[in-house]
Amino acid sequence: MESLFLTAVLFLGAAVLVVPVAMRLGLGSVLGYLAAGPAIAPLVALTGADTHDVQHYAEFGVVLMLFLIGLELEPRALWDMRGRLVGLGGLQVGLTAALVAAALWMLGLAPASAVSVGLILALSSTAIVLQTLSEKNLMRSAGGRSTFAVLLAQDIAVVPVLAALPLLAATLPAVPTAATHGVVNPGEADKAEPLSSLVQTLPGWAVTALTLAVVAGIMLAGHFLSRRAFRFVHAARLPEMSTFFSLAIVVGIALAMQAVGLSPALGSFLAGVVLANSEFRHQIEADIRPFKGLAMGIFFMTVGAGIDLSVLASAPGAVLGGTLALILGKALVLAGLGLGFGLRGRDLALFALGLAQGGEFGFLLAAFAAGQGLLTPGFAQGLVLAISLSMLLTPALFLLGDRLGRRLVRPGADPAPDVVDEKGRVLIAGIGRFGQVVNRLVRTSGLSTTVLDNNPATIELMRRFGVKGFFGDPARPDLLDAAGLAEATVLVVAVDDPAAALRIVRHARARRPDLHIVARARDRVHVYELYQAGASDIVRETFDSAVRAGRYVLENAGFTDYEAARMSQAFWRLDRAGLRELAALWVPDQPVHLNAAYVAQARELDADLETALIEELQDERAARSAAVG
């Protein structure tokens, strides 16, 4: 227990000291955690703790991360990305593995060993990449979505890779198992997992049936039983019960998936997708997020602490050269695929350099390949070290990608729009001063909104305050359709540009004759234009505030508060009614002062308005006198 406490203090203390400094320097938390690992490695060794054992527990942070990501995706959004998931992800794994295998075979490595190394190095770090994308708010960009699709495809590919390695080993003489113990993780092979061992004794058809049953069970239980279970737990009215249950869900799913030989992270992701539409989604997210952050931080530190500097000192050229070759080769493959799938500029740089490292699954696969006799102990150690160094360089690759992306963007060119993966009942086009107020009122009333704006700085600022928004020009019909125009109940047109507002209203009314459109107007003429374009409700941006200011004037000029309120309400009602009459007389492209019918009607309405306000005041005072008498 004393050793455990000392190890915990070392990891937590290193994080507190190093990570804030890295954040202040703009390097990100991941690089801070990775840098803290080597610093505490000698101290951890003195406690007698094994960083590999700590890493196994910390890898649970990857499971929690993918579960939280799944909670933010609807099943329809996952289906929409199937092309990138299968096409882009599958091609990345296949082409990278083939390129690495061909290069190693030409250097003299046996074909089966070369292929196994290619499959291992084709995978990237889900933990580091997703954490960095989240910190930099890049998940909703085109590059971020493509990166996520490839990472998910890689997690799925781990299972067939594990199945393929024994088949590859059959083509080579096997290395004695005892010789490989301690290659990557001392004692790892001696720790049998009871459930996994039991599954391995079943025939092949039974394993397949059990795997399908587990996946189907997770999906069905998440859809049909989760709500009842959460209601039962919440009935206890103990906050910690909700946390216990949320963690139990993730741990149970991870255990079930690992028992049948599947990726626990993949299983937790699927469970998150199933629960994405649950009313308890936000409660689950709040319960799990602190544990995810803690586990991820410790995982990154164990990766840094696990770097064997003695192997690096014995063959620095081979290790460093292999690390740089890995990064460069994967970046070239990713860049070619990104171009083929339409990525450009910053999104292409993010995609190519963000996935150019090895991954945490590489540690598992390297140990497994060594146990199968595909790799010698020395080669396995060098491979693990190269993967670790590439992961350590990932934050620097993101910084390089950001700078390269800025140079790839032509001066004056607009950045690529975000991919809208969450659609609400209310679609808000424009999120300036006007749209922000509307969005806050609607969201705090319990309605979901989708915000689309063409100012990336505004969208970035909203995200910092936890408000989701998507970058893109709402006046573009294709982006408006992609944002959910067909599914929306109400469209709010709150853009600053009057011409853009007209284009949005016309397109929306043509596509959705039944849609209720609330539009922001700059002045009276703009009101008439929007009226003819098909807007349902039109709000002059300064009218309501001006009426309120006039009410304050009346209150301080001799009228009672009630009289001022009645007169301002009457003015608001009568002016809006008169505006509809004038809209019918307005002629486009003709100055209103040259429109005789319009001018005559405006004068008549002003006279009627004055008479109506006087009568309103007299009636109110008469009613009050009668009540007093």
Whether this prediction's pTM lies above 0.85 is answered by no
Specify which residues 470 forms β-bridges with: 452
- Output the CA angle 373-378-384, nearest 5 degrees: 90
In sequence order, what DSSP letters do the residues of 269-289 get, joined into one string?
A: HHHHHHGGGSTTHHHHHHHHH
Q: Model confidence at 356, in pLDDT bands (50, 70, 90)? A: very high
User: Is the pLDDT reported for residue 183 higher than 60?
Assistant: no
Task: Give per-residue pLDDT as tens, 282-339.
Answer: 777 778 878 877 877 887 787 777 777 777 778 888 888 889 999 999 999 999 999 9
The pLDDT, as a whole number, for residue 589 is: 67
The pLDDT, as a whole number, for residue 487 is: 86
Task: Give per-residue pLDDT as tens, 244-257.
Answer: 887 888 888 888 87
Task: Give per-residue pLDDT as tens, 560-572.
Answer: 888 888 888 888 8
Task: Give per-residue pLDDT as tens, 80-112.
Answer: 677 787 888 889 999 999 999 999 999 888 888
User: Is the pLDDT reported for residue 174 higher than 50?
Assistant: no
The pLDDT, as a whole number, for residue 106 is: 92
What is the distance between the alpha carbons of residues 126 and 132, in angstroms, rounded to a whole number? 10
Contact call for residues 254 and 60 (beta carbons, < 8 A) = yes
As a whole number, the mean pLDDT across the chain is 79
Give, in order, the Cα–Cα distances in Å from 508 to each of 11, 60, 185, 514, 629. Answer: 55, 46, 60, 10, 57
What is the distance between the alpha carbons of residues 610 and 26, in angstroms, rounded to a whole number? 62
Token digits of residue 583? 């809209």
The pLDDT, as a whole number, for residue 91 is: 92
The pLDDT, as a whole number, for residue 262 is: 67
* Residue type present at position 229: A
589 compared with 42, residue with greater pLDDT:
42
Contact call for residues 146 and 347 (beta carbons, < 8 A) = yes
Collect all residues with Cβ–Cβ distance below 8 Å to 44 and sequence separation of at least 6.
Answer: 7, 10, 11, 51, 305
Name the 3-class secondary structure at 590.
coil
The pLDDT, as a whole number, for residue 599 is: 78
Task: Give per-residue pLDDT as tens, 300-309.
Answer: 787 777 777 7
Q: Which CATH architecture has domain 418-541?
A: 3-Layer(aba) Sandwich (3.40)
User: Is the pLDDT reported for residue 412 higher than 60?
Assistant: no
Task: Give per-residue pLDDT as tens, 198-236.
Answer: 555 656 566 667 767 877 887 787 777 777 887 888 777
The pLDDT, as a whole number, for residue 420 is: 63
CA proximity to 307, closest of 119, 52, 121, 128: 52
Q: Model confidence at 425, in pLDDT bands (50, 70, 90)? A: confident
Domain ranges of the chain: 2-408, 418-541, 547-629
User: Is the pLDDT reported for residue 415 higher than 50?
Assistant: yes
624 compared with 505, residue with greater pLDDT:
505
Share of the chain above pLDDT 70, in %: 80
What is the distance between the alpha carbons of residues 493 and 471, in angstroms, rounded to a whole number? 15
Task: Write the class of the CATH domain 2-408.
Answer: mainly alpha
Collect all residues with Cβ–Cβ distance below 8 Å to 483 and sequence separation of at least 6.
Answer: 420, 423, 427, 450, 452, 470, 472, 474
The pLDDT, as a whole number, for residue 78 is: 64
User: Is the pLDDT reported for residue 520 higher than 50?
Assistant: yes
What is the distance between the alpha carbons of residues 295 and 193, in angstroms, rounded to a whole number? 22
Name the 3-class secondary structure at 167.
helix
**What is the 3 state secondary structure string of 385-440?**
HHHHHHHHCHHHHHHHHHHHHHHHCCCCCCCCCCCCCCCCCEEEECCCHHHHHHHH
What is the distance between the alpha carbons of residues 368 and 180, in angstroms, rounded to a whole number? 10
What is the distance between the alpha carbons of residues 231 and 265, in angstroms, rounded to a whole number? 26
Q: Model confidence at 518, in pLDDT bands (50, 70, 90)? A: very high
What is the distance between the alpha carbons of residues 270 and 253, in angstroms, rounded to a whole number? 10
Task: Give per-residue pLDDT as tens, 594-627.
Answer: 677 877 877 777 776 767 777 766 766 676 666 6
Contact call for residues 121 and 387 (beta carbons, < 8 A) = yes
Using a 10 angstrom Cβ sphere, with 0-12 exposed, 13-18 middle and 19 or more buried, the burial of residue 386 is buried
Helix axes 264-274, 60-71, angle to 10 degrees: 20
Classify residue 521 as left (phi > 0), alpha (psi -120 to 50) or beta. beta
What is the distance between the alpha carbons of residues 64 and 110, in angstroms, rounded to a whole number? 38
